Structure 1
Amino acid sequence: MVNDERRRHLQSQLSFSTQNQTGTLYLVPTPIGNLGDMTFRSVDVLKRVDLIAAEDTRNTQKLLNHFEIETSQISFHEHNTQERIPQLVAKLKAGQNLAQVSDAGMPSISDPGHELVVACIEAGIPVVPLPGANAGLTALIASGLDPQPFYFYGFLDRKAKLQTEELSELKTRSETLIFYEAPHRLAKTLTRLAKILGDDRTASLCRELTKRHEQFIRGTLEELLNWASTSDRVRGEFVIIVNGNPDGNATVKTADFSNLSIEDHVDQLMATGLKPNQAIKEVAHLRGMRKQEVYQIFHHLDQN
């Protein structure tokens, strides 16, 4: 039964209702390289809104100039998020329509945007997403690796110790893994990927997607590391697609847990290297339960 706490937070909102009393926040993807990937709808929305919240106004202005868009901009990036959100929400409440864009690709995917979306949802402001370019999925479908299921991770932590911990948690995942990386960190990241996931794991490097020098380098992690260590073409942003572990969490999912208590089931998954919250989430998935319910049972919390 759905409890009262969840029922109070249930929200249903029509994106294009004429009864909305506020403005609308449009999440507008921008090209990841080739300007020809800008959609007609995205151009139209950017022309019609009252204001564009941009990650880098100088970068976005080049895009606006190309499509003859004269809408004003306001900066919205990771360093001014807390300052800007109340201002933008106030404008939306006053009836203005806003578009939010990142420098390239989908807003909120490894770029600013999520916090503004949450604030708008809490304020009852419609949030309308537009489909468009995304580097991770673009690379995935041409990688030659299994496109589904996949696990999008984005950027790994820059600190070696934390990156090692992240990869140690990911090494048993059976899904195809998607990472982003900058060219100057590529070799170091591939070194840790090969060491922790296994140098014989198949993978694909995808660089300069949709641009003139678009390139795919496919092979094992060891071969990709050798390429990155010797090539003079380690330039541009990279997407790293890595084959999942065929002997990873797939074996755990098919194991018989019918005789295990919730606590023992979580403990069993933790023994494979999962952190407590990951194990709790997996048990909830396998048993068709709510994560919060498993959490309460495992930690012996009062469920009343």
Structure 2
Amino acid sequence: MELKQIEVFRAIARHGGFSRAARALGIGQPSLTRSIARLEASLGFALFLRGQGAARLTPEGAAFLREVDRAFIGLDRLRIAAEDIRNFGSGRLRVACLTALSSGLLPRTLRRFLREFPEATVSLQVRPSSTIYEWVATQRCDIGIAAPRTGFAAVEEEVLLALPGVLVVPRGHRLARLRRPAGPADLAGEDFLASALEDGARHATDDAFGAAGLVPRMRLETQYGATLCAMVAAGLGVAVVNPVVAEDHAVLPLVTKPFAPEVLFTSRLLRPRGSMRDRLAEAFATLLREEARETAGRLCPGRHPR
């Protein structure tokens, strides 16, 4: 059995015929037919019903195709892994960060880091938190910054920031004049824009409304706080967002208000568990912690960032 024969078999099954598969693969149909004959001889059973027009799988052929597809899923994962490695390039420090911290905290940290280590090269990727955990667990990156996820024993993590969310409303909105923290009752009748269900802060927000016996008038949900800020600025509703994201989008026509009960937005610093401590990674982590403390002190005076 050869890999080329398996690829030919899968192509015929997927395209529904020998001639269509031959065109898709760019080979002659006689060569394709010989390849299938050799594969069937190797396996000891027929893969296709002969004389039935379009290529139809035998029961044995259908069972074999299921196993082939499972194997090709593994190959596809290897291709994705290779693409990830290629995207990171040959940088000496590989960093992956969630979107929420990629516009303010991360650039400030990188500016300090590259000033201190001018010889360093950084490969940076901005990805969803679940992807960042996977990359750190498989040592595809040296430093990860992500929202909490569970089930990654190969990841060593520490809380980087844990800040209470803020309510953002359009400039001129009635809640912009509120002189106390806004709560779920204040949002009754308002169009509410929410973070995605996989976000831990989304569950805390839902719990806050539930404790008040209210159901928000959900108009939109999205994965990114930056998108929520843009939607609020466009007058589509109000939202509870990470204060770091709200600060990064202060140029928009928005007003930020405290929100109670507290909805925490947490981000974590991730490292591969058991990996050797690289000098550049350690220095970057130290600067990142310092920048996080400064950010927390600015946004929440008197509150420890962790």
Asked if TM exceeds 0.5, the reply is: no
Is the helix fraction higher in 1 or 2? 2
Higher normalized contact order (CA 8 Å, seq sep 6+, divided by chain length): 2
Is the strand fraction higher in 1 or 2? 2
Band the TM-score falls in, shorter-chain normalisation: under 0.3
Bigger-Rg structure (1/2): 2
